[in-house]
Structure 1
Amino acid sequence: MKLDVDKLDENSKQIFGKFTYRDDVGPVFEVEGSSFNKTQQYSPYYVNVTGTIMNKNTIEDFKNIDKSSLINSVAPSQPLVYVNQKGIPLKNHFNQKQLDKLTEGYKDMEKNLQDFFGIIVEKDSVNIIKISDILRSDVAEQSKFDYDLTKIYFGFTDSSNGLNPGWPLRIFLAALLEHCPCLAGSNIHILSLRTKVNGDISSSTYFEIRIPQDVNTVESAGWVGWERNDRGNFGPKLANMSSSMDPVKLADASSDLNIKLMKWRLVPDLNLDIIKDTKCLLFGAGTLGCHVARNLIVTTAYGHSTLQRRHQYIAGFMGRNMISNVKNGLMERGGSDAAWGFRYITFLDSGKVSYSNPTRQVLFNHIDCHKGGKRKAEAAAENLKQILPSVNTQSLVAHIPMPGHPVGHSIKDETIDNIEKITKAIEDHDVLFLLLDSREARWMPSLIAAHLGKSLKDRTLDQQCTVTRPGVAAIAGALAVEMLVGLLQHPLKLNAPAACNLSEEIDKGTKSESEGILGVVPHSIRGFLWSYQTVVPTTIKFKQCIACSDDVINKYKADSIDFLLKVFNDANYLEEITGLSELHLAAEMSDVLMLSDDENE
């Protein structure tokens, strides 16, 4: 309720509770899920209670409340919260003809179907007076009470099982005297209703009470309500419910708290549902893969990403030599303490955990290296679930075929099987993170993703692939997730344009088309750790790209796996299809012509 409805609102709200006493459980006051409904729900053997809830945002705000003033301001407004003071008689629900039919029908029912009962009262034998009539203002203002008190019994639900009545009687009498002050100095009959588990009320008690002549008004009464806490003082008591709650659901709600606070305070238009529903496929469970996965569920993050949503495609293949601008990249987007809360993460890797991995790859432990090492994809998925049990993690063990790596007859069937696994995985996910060591390994996932969508501009297939300093992987992983979230929150989603002349637009104060609610959405980021700088380059699409050019995609559509096998066996085949061979030849001929025209030759 606080996280999803009230948020930062501290205004008091109406809340419903219910009270009962049964000999098997004792006195019970309940506040549960239906207590926040707009209308009360009624349950057998329960008395409904209307109250007020005050939910402060911080413990400091709660401690600063004047507890005595609070209870004295709230209590007089509703001393008898369960009484019907509107004077609506029961006969409004049924007319006499309907009641007669109901009574006759009840008599004809079989005994095992009679789960309610009717009370048949002979005329003039009992005079029934509704308490709502007694408490109406016009009756209460009368100078004298028009009823014979010796024949009136006031009933209440008693929480006591001893000789003396419970606390509800005090509240009941206070409300009764507030509305009917003429009862002061009188003797009244009280029935305390005590219910057993089977509904039997034979243990109920009768009291005769003498009301003093001088009765304080509700406004001047001293109200109590605080119990003694662990230190023996009257005040609020802390109830830690975590031990009785589902630990998985508790962890899930706690992990969402920071991102919801970010939404309430900084970015009201932040779409949290699209983040939770987005399915991420991580190619590679190494240093970058571990950091990206950790950041997807825990902290604001970043790397290079390929997004494929509803068969649309955008790629940002970036190298590992990148850093984030801490001020502009992290703090403005919520800081390192926020949790984006992605819930669907799949690891794809064919390697095993070695003894050198745990110091660099944050999802692995020393025990994962034993007995030859666990599969990286499987170990990463298992350990990520240890961090957040509610995350939906899966692992896929598959070798990624690469251009220029021949496929012999002995491994052809295995290679085709890996291609089909990878293709199916790409189809089933929304986001692809290409966290692999080489551009050759990134080629096939790039091509398949491009085939499943439509070609967009500003995509590069980067060559840099070596982590040279330990901090780069964490920075790159954080940047990748930040870019993904920025893209998901952009109004154009996958069609978000690259930021062109960003510095010039900032100087002019104009808003870039690339800018969303979390800022601009770069298509690539270059970072230089030596100088602690980042740049956001923008280039047009290269029409001879070996991964997403029209010629390559059309060839893949036509020949599918046969085309891939040709590329794996001969990397030069890609250059022939895209025209890169002619481009290289033209460049060489240009050099030759330049040399041959030299006057010194």
Structure 2
Amino acid sequence: MPIVQFVPFSSLVQPTLWHKLTDLKIDVLKLSDAALPITASYSIGRSVHDRETGQEIALPCNLSVGSESFEHDHKPPHGSVSATGTLKNYNTIEEFKAADKTALFNQEAQDVWNNIIKTRDTSQLSRFLLITFADLKKYKYYYWFAFPAFVSKPAWEIGEEGWRKASEEFELSSIHAQLRGQSSPLPYFLIKKDASGGVSIAPLESYEEFYASTSPEAQTIGFVDPSADPNNPGWPLRNLLAYLRALYPATTSTLRILRWKDSEVPSTPNASWKSQVGTLKVGDAAPIDPALGRPTAVGWEKNPQGKLGPRVADLAPMMDPTRLAAQAVDLNLKLMRWRILPALDLDKISSTRCLLLGAGTLGCYVSRALMGWGVRTITFVDSGKVSFSNPVRQPLFEFADCLDGGKPKAECAAASLKKIFPGINSSGHTLAIPMPGHPIPPSPASLAQAKADVAKLEKLIDEHDVVFLLMDSRESRWLPTVIGAAKGKASLIIIVLNAALGFDTYLVMRHGARASSLSTGADGKPHQRLGCYYCNDIVAPADSLTDRTLDQMCTVTRPGIAPIAAATAVELLASLLQHPEGLYSPAPPTTTAAAGAALDSDQEGINSVLGLVPHQLRGFLNQFRTMPLVGAAYDRCTGCSETVLKAYETEGFSMLLKAFNDAKYLETLTGLDKLFQEGEDALNAVDWHEEGDEDDF
């Protein structure tokens, strides 16, 4: 009699599996090569009709895996059954190639055998192994499947009648209805006829009870056959036969096998049932003795060249470039968490909405650094246009942006970010920020425009979490400082970061929280009250732009200052966002020794995952030195004092208008004028006495 030939499984890998593996590798597995449980599914064998020859062409015996394969409670598609397996992903291609594949295969085969002997669980009979290496930079995935199946010695033989139509022996519609009525699909099942000619089925695990009073000749074993080949059954039958011979050797040397290949009832009278039945015999060999160990197993999948070897899936050519970029841009950040910063909260940074007031040199470099940290929402505000002096110093602009009078800086910068990464949510707004010392013309149109500008700035600040002050002048920072500080009582606390440049010096600082919002930290200590940009300056902001020479009007700096300051400001934000106290995080000590000790201590309460969170950083490029400072809040500050903030909240635009038009208003409001007078009075009260005569000089 002919020896039974089995059609091996052919892996069908959906691209979604590689996308899911990429996410797992980056966010969960990292450097771990621990084995993962995985599921797959297979269905009845299918064929296609060749119109030219009129023949039926059998499709491969597919076992399909996709992103759902990592879901433990995933249910297979209609008409399919599940298979369980193991995925082992390696960190390098060298490890993948050098893996002890024999040991891995034998372990998987042993697991199948143990389930047969110890638990009689049939859900593990079609178990598989998948080893992989994911080259995440090139989007190439190397993989190799194994489907362990036990070898029968001697081989099984098919009876003289071969495989014949099952509809000639069974009422297949009844079997179909009973299979559909199961709570979960049965990959293997028992069949018997009752006295009236009816058919009943049961799970394979019920073999002894179900066939207790049934002769071997009346017993039929069914399985969902993924093979469409009319002469050769699918791979799952191999382990099914090994299961029966190991557990029930006395009654299984000859078996009637039903190859179930009908997921649907034939829809037309001319259509016929596809399922087949046949009789298999194993010869006179001794039954399998579980005490002697498991039989030999085979099952590594061959590659497209017909040789034993791995396959390669190259997703790069078929992926949307935008999606490729979206997965790749944050790769560096996620790799940081593998070895260096496992506690880094990247979602907190990426979800932070940043408003950049100023789209010049600082604004360009700050935006690029924010993108490097994964920030996805960046908004520019600027009143200028791109000039011919900008592109060499401001990396978001190019020569073409300067033509025809220049493009609006804010909108142009936002468009440039989208060219760099289409997934960024960037926008630009041309807006002139009203400033103290720059009176608003009394015409109704000018007042209306100033009021609209203030309202728009307030709305933009409301819609963002962080405001970067990156403007050229001191007075232009006053209004956003006041608005940002006033949010201290609202549910949304705004972080304000300041960056200012000198010729070869820079200042980067975070504004402290509003005094009325301070309470106690997680350690029970009162929040530290830190100052804003204006707290260390007892001079109210005034006009610094009028009657200035060209070098005084332009920010003349060494070329390296701006990117250093911009990067420092963004890194300060990242550290601040990672601190559990956020905006209220205390400033570290300013002495080098104390700061070093604090950085090494976990009990100071001043460190974030990224280290210290300073209040101010003053850099001196001529000395290549950066000095951390702490500036206390000042109760007469023109930017963040409660006097100014309450006046703004009470009077609104009318208060701001006074500050714009009256150079003395803020000094009077905060009491700085009295402080000046007290200083003058103290100087005048001193009786100055000079020793010696003029001839002594």
> Relative to structure 1, is the Cα distance of residues 154 and 430 closer, same or farther in structure 2, using a 3 angstrom cutoff?
closer
Query: 2: distance between equivalents of 1:543 and 1:556?
Result: 16
Query: Aligned pair in 2 of structure 1 residues 87, 166: CA closer, same or farther (>3 Å)?
Result: closer
* 8 Å CA contact retained: 2:647, 2:655: yes
Match of 2:165 in 1: none
Distance of aligned partners of 1:494 and 1:150 in 2 relative to their CA distance in 1, 3 Å threshold: same
Q: 1:203 to 1:466 in 2, by over 3 A?
A: same
In structure 1, the residue matched to 2:531 is 458
Q: Choose which of 290, 302, 319 in structure 2 pairs with 1:227.
A: 302
**Which residue number corresponds to residue 31 of structure 1?**
65
Q: Alpha-carbon deviations, 1:130-173, whole Å to 9, x = none?
A: 4624767x999x9xx98424753543413234543333333433
Match of 1:53 in 2: 87
Gaps of 5+ in 1: 89-114, 299-339
Is 1:191 equivalent to 2:258 in the alignment?
yes
Mapping 1:368-387, distance limit 5 Å: 368-387=401-420
Q: What are the Cα deviations for residues 206-248 of structure 1, in whole angstroms up to 9, with x where unaligned?
A: 4443324448978442423232267x75222122345555654
Once residues 402 and 283 of structure 2 are traced to their aligned partners in structure 1, the CA distance between those partners, rounded to angstroms, is 82
The residue that corresponds to 1:542 in the other structure is 634
Cα distance in 2, alignment partners of residues 197 and 394 from structure 1: 55
Q: Is 1:13 aligned with 2:46?
A: no
- Partner Cα distance (1:199, 1:270) in 2: 58
Structure 2 CA distance, aligned partners of 1:199 and 1:428? 61
Does the C-alpha gap of structure 1 residues 151 and 38 become closer, same or farther in structure 2, counting only changes over 3 Å?
Answer: closer
Q: 1:429 to 1:507 in 2, by over 3 A?
A: closer
CA distance in structure 2 between the aligned counterparts of 1:183 and 1:558, rounded to whole angstroms: 94
Report the alpha carbon displacement of residue 199 of structure 1 after superposing the two structures with TM: 6.5
Matches within 5 A, 1:345-364: 345-364=378-397
Question: What is the Cα deviation at residue 438 of structure 1?
Answer: 1.3
**8 Å contact 2:79–2:263 — kept in the other structure?**
no
Question: Per the alignment, do residues 45 and 79 of structure 1 end up closer, same or farther by CA in structure 2, a change over 3 Å counting?
Answer: farther
Equivalences for residues 298-337 of structure 1 within 5 A: 298=372
Letter in 1 for 2:376: R
Structure 1 partner of 2:559 = 470
Identical aligned pairs, as a percentage?
A: 37
Name the SS of the counterpart of 2:375 in structure 1: coil
Counterpart amino acid of 1:382? A
* Aligned mates of 2:82, 2:277 — CA distance in 1: 23
* Aligned amino acid, residue 592 of structure 2: S
Give the letter for the 2:204 counterpart.
S
What SS does the corresponding residue of 2:330 show, helix, strand or coil? helix
User: C-alpha distance in 2, partners of 1:557/1:168?
Assistant: 76
Aligned position for 1:148: 216
Aligned letter for 1:282?
L
CA contact (8 A) 1:150 1:188 kept: no
Cα offset for 1:269?
Answer: 3.1
Distance 1:225 1:277, change over 3 A: same
Q: Does 1:263 align with 2:337?
A: yes
Stretch of structure 1 that moved more, 209-218 or 467-476: 209-218
Shift of 1:404: 1.4
Match of 2:173 in 1: none
Greater Cα shift, 16-25 or 374-383: 16-25
Matches within 5 A, 1:72-471: 72-78=106-112, 85=120, 123-126=195-198, 128=200, 130=202, 132-133=204-205, 147-149=215-217, 152-161=220-229, 163-182=231-250, 186-195=253-262, 202-214=273-285, 219-228=294-303, 234-244=308-318, 247-298=321-372, 340-408=373-441, 409=443, 410-453=445-488, 454-455=514-515, 456-461=529-534, 466=555, 468-471=557-560
Larger strand percent = 2
- Contact 1:19–1:30 (CA<8 Å) still a contact in 2? yes
Shift of 1:294: 1.3
Residue by residue over 1:274-332, the C-alpha shift from the partner in whole angstroms, topping out at 9 and shown as x without a partner, is 2233221111111111111111121xxxxxxxxxxxxxxxxxxxxxxxxxxxxxxxxxx
1:516-566 per-residue CA deviation (whole Å, 9 max, x = no partner) reads: 232221111011112211110113223332211233223322322122222
Q: Does 1:491 align with 2:580?
A: yes
| Deviation of 1:62 (Å) | 2.6
> Per the alignment, do residues 213 and 146 of structure 1 end up closer, same or farther by CA in structure 2, a change over 3 Å counting?
farther
Distance 2:257 2:266 in 1: 20
Residues 512 and 148 of structure 1: CA distance in aligned 2, closer, same or farther (over 3 Å): closer
How many angstroms apart in 2 are the aligned matches of 1:81 and 1:248?
46
Partners of 1:526 and 1:548 lie apart in 2 by 21
TM-score normalised by structure 1 residue count: 0.77
Cα distance in 2 between the residues matched to 1:353 and 1:29: 59
* Cα deviation 1:374-418 (Å, max 9, x = unaligned): 322222222223333333222222111111112112422211111
- Which of 629, 643, 653 is 1:551 aligned to? 643
Change over 3 Å in CA distance of 1:394–1:437 after alignment to 2: same
Of 508-517 and 549-558, the range deviating more from structure 2? 508-517
How far apart are the structure 2 equivalents of 1:214 and 1:374? 88
Does the CA-based 8 Å contact 2:116-2:243 persist in structure 1? no
Letter aligned with residue 460 of structure 1:
Y
Relative contact order: is structure 1 or structure 2 higher (C-alpha 8 Å, sep ≥ 6)?
1
2:46 to 17, 22, 36: 22
- The answer on whether the counterparts of 2:192 and 2:218 sit within 8 Å (CA) in structure 1 is no
Aligned residues: CA RMSD: 3.9
Please state how far the C-alpha of 1:444 moved relative to its aligned partner. Answer: 0.8
Over 3 Å counting, the alpha-carbon distance change for 1:581 and 1:346 in structure 2 is same
Match of 1:44 among 78, 86, 99: 78
Change in Cα spacing, 1:132 to 1:373, as seen in structure 2 (3 Å) is: same
Gaps of at least 5 residues in structure 2 are 1-22, 49-58, 124-178, 183-190, 489-513, 516-528, 538-551
Cα deviations by residue, 1:59-100 (Å, 9 ceiling, x for unpaired): 443333122332232134227999994599xxxxxxxxxxxx
Are residues 1:563 and 2:638 paired?
Answer: no
User: SS state of the match for residue 450, structure 2?
Assistant: helix
Matched with 1:69 is: 103
Q: Which moved more, 1:66-75 or 1:397-406?
A: 66-75
After superposing the two structures, state which structure 1 stretch, 76-85 or 421-430, moved more: 76-85
Quote the Cα distance in structure 1 between the aligned partners of 2:458 and 2:419: 29
Q: How many residue pairs align between the two structures?
A: 528
Distance 1:8 1:507, change over 3 A: closer
Find the aligned partners of 1:213 and 1:596 in 2 and give their Cα distance.
127
Deviations 1:454-484 (A, max 9, x none): 2342333389993512222222121111111
Alignment-derived partner of residue 151 in structure 2 = none
- Looking at secondary structure, tell me which structure has more helix per residue: 1
Counterpart of 2:148? none
SS at match of 1:209: strand
Tell me the SS of whatever aligns to 1:405.
coil
Tell me if structure 1 keeps the 8 A contact 2:572–2:614: yes
The more displaced of 532-541 and 386-395 is 386-395
TM-score, length of structure 2 as denominator length: 0.67
Q: CA deviation at 1:442?
A: 0.8
